[in-house]
Chains A and B, each alone.
Chain A
Amino acid sequence: MEWDFTLLLIGNGVLIGLMYSLIALGFVVVYKATDAINFAQGEFVMLAALMSAAVTVLMELPFWVGVLVAIVGMISFSFGLERVVLRPLLGRPIVAVIMATIGLAAILRGLGPLFFGAETRSLTLPVGDEPIILGPFILQPVQVTGAAVALLFLGGFTWFFLKSRMGVAMRAVADNQQVAMAMGINVERYFALAWAMAGIVSALGGVVWGAMLGVDVHVSLVGLKVFPVVILGGLDSIIGAVVGGLIVGIVENLAAGYLDPLVGGGTKDFAPYVLMIIALMIRPYGIFGKRKIERV
């Protein structure tokens, strides 16, 4: 009986973990290609959720239009962001980039409700809400959809980076911008492409997380989970994002199931961070991360 409970927690952890990976993917792709750190990833997800909710709930258009609007909107938003904010910050200290995206997060959290309204809206995926029961697992269709979308994208991105010409070029940009430029790669175009990819991922992440949590400013809190995921997995590894997501998902579910009754709640939000600190002590560059060699 006890094992059933554990399995149930792990099953849900896997699904949630894959949904975390989906969001972490946006962070990793941008960091990999442009070295920019996006502390506003959670707010990106929130913005996408707000957009699709505005289309489907306020204008009563079909669901797929909402998804499409979110994707197009997020691509153009992240595109513009790269142009206006992040390009002038190239080569500046890391604290500048971090603060710029934190500032951006503040803007989005402030202005999002101003334009889309402050109340919580429900966004329904066309998958029903009857839980699927598989042996010991009880799975929510929303989470299954989210996990499926995440797997689809992870597979797609892996293929893109390993096999496609553009993916190889993007890896070259990530490796060394100057050499990539010398080899005839249009570095600026690949920066834009990386941000567009992050936009797509955030849009889909926004739709699935919005469907799960309800759409309001609090969706952006998902962004806080991105950091343990990417640190555990390694900042520049797509496989790492998946593994990190799974670890965080499972750990936080187990913590919520076993520790919460003992200490009175809230461990879900901080157990992944404790794990992350331990990981930082042992392997500072993550499980799959690249170790950087520094020279004077």
Chain B
Amino acid sequence: MFHRESGYFKTTYAADGGLYPLPIAKWTIGVLLAGFILLPTISTAVSGAVSAEYYVSVVNLILIAVVGALGLNILVGYTGQISIGHAAFMSVGAYTAANLAVKLGLPFWVTLPAGGLMAAFIGAIVGIPSLRIKGLYLAIATLAAQLIIEWVINHTPAISGGSQASIEVPRPTVFGYPLKTQRELYYFLLFFAVLAIVGTLNLVRSRIGRAFVAIRDQDIAAEIIGIDIFRYKLTAFAISSFYAGVTGVLYTYYLGIANYENFLITTSIDYLAMIIIGGLGSVLGSILGAIFVTLLPIVIRVFMESFGTLLFTASELNNVIPATRLGLFGLLIIVFLVVEPEGLNRLWRNIRNYFRVWPFSY
């Protein structure tokens, strides 16, 4: 609403596919980035150091979820292959990194890509059936992968590191400086979230990204126009699982512990919900969905703790909160699917289109 889109003429394909559609986009990105960099400082100034630490930790969770949601959206939203086993790839990344960090004492800049690559490798193997099967069959095959990977990790002490199937990892160190507080972790995670966003934006407007979209829309037709389906489907699985693996590693560093219970099938469903609610096949949608789904349980908890006592006793409340969260979560998925299939991304576009020529009618 502060700028007009007329007067910019794109005369080359390169300009048309550019990362910044309009010159003002650079400014928007710059302002957003500055805002994100200053966020911990601002929140400390506004709400004091202790609660700022909590708020920043919530933002950290969102940043981690953004990476995972982007990865899943590459697979489901752009390539049209379903995965209900995405959390399993995260656990592969998490345990790979945790084992490398603890047993070999490697720093994060080795364990993080290693976790991602391991997840990509496993993901590509899981993706092999996608060459013959699709739709529901693929969904169930990935569900099987989730259960099998979960079981293997849980029953192999060499991977899971003992009875609780959890490994404590040291804090990541940057240039010999360990990241202890949430504020320090924030910049660490922000870096990777931005990297993931830029990477995805560039991926989907490249040759690979266009091949993905062609496979999604009609894979037989894509094969006929010369896209190697075998290669691109496996690439999609590998890239998506790489993101998932990195998400797992980041989450492990965030918690300080690798535990398979953080990567159960419910987590897979959470991530699917993010991209459905946010919008399939959209980078902005993945981000909005990640924010929404991460904040939902927190908001419900705060709301129920302040108002729930009017209806329930304190002991009942402990059962009611998770039940409400689960129920509301399911309801939101269905409402979005039925009412706004293109998700929050579409809502945002509608708002923006309304203000595009505001206050004039056209």
A-side residues, CB < 8 A to B, are 37, 85, 88-89, 92-96, 98-100, 102-111, 113-114, 118, 224, 227-228, 231, 235, 263-264, 266, 269-270, 273-274, 276-277, 280-281, 284-285, 294-296
Contacts and interface: CB of A to CB of B under 8 A. Distances in A.
A270 B280 contact: no
Interface stretch (B28-36, B90-98, B128-136, B287-295): B128-136
Nearest to A103: B333
Contacts of B154: 266
B174 to A, nearest CB: 39
Contacts of A280: 129, 132-133, 137, 141
Given A114-B324, A269-B147, A296-B224, A107 B330 contact: yes
Contacts of B337: 89, 92, 96, 99-100, 103
A205 B218 CA distance: 39
A189 B324 CA distance: 34
Contacts of B314: none
B139 A110 contact: no
Contacts of A276: 140-141, 144
Contact of A100 (B82, B151, B334): B334
A56 B290 CA distance: 43
Contacts of B102: none
A92 B224 CA distance: 24
Given A94-B136, A224-B147, 6 more contacts: A103-B332, A107-B326, A227-B140, A266-B155, A269-B151, A276-B144
Contacts of B273: 99, 103
A105 B331 CA distance: 10
B323 interface: yes
Nearest to A109: B326
Nearest to A93: B80
Contacts of A104: 330, 334
A263 B155 contact: yes
Identify whether the interface residues of B are mostly helix, strand, loop, or mixed. helix
Interface in B82-104: 82, 84
A110 B326 contact: yes
Contacts of B327: 106-107, 110-111, 114
B330 A106 contact: yes
A143 to B, nearest CB: 24
A109 to B, nearest CB: 6
Interface residues of B, number: 47
B308 interface: no
A273 B147 CA distance: 8
Interface of B: 76, 80, 82, 84, 129, 132-133, 135-137, 139-141, 143-144, 147-148, 151, 154-155, 218, 220-221, 224, 269, 272-273, 276, 280, 319-320, 322-334, 337-338, 341
B82 A94 contact: yes
A133 B213 CA distance: 60
A296 B269 contact: no
A284 B138 CA distance: 10
B129 A277 contact: yes
A264 B324 CA distance: 36
A273 B155 CA distance: 16
A96 B341 contact: yes
Contact of A98 (B139, B141, B331): B139
Nearest to A108: B330
B220 A294 contact: yes
B136 A235 contact: yes
A117 to B, nearest CB: 9
Nearest to A263: B155
A107 B331 contact: yes
B325 to A, nearest CB: 7
Contacts of A231: 137, 140
B330 A277 contact: no
A46 B328 CA distance: 19
Contacts of A108: 330
Contacts of B224: 296
A110 to B, nearest CB: 3
Contact of B338 (A85, A227, A277): A85
A100 B333 contact: yes
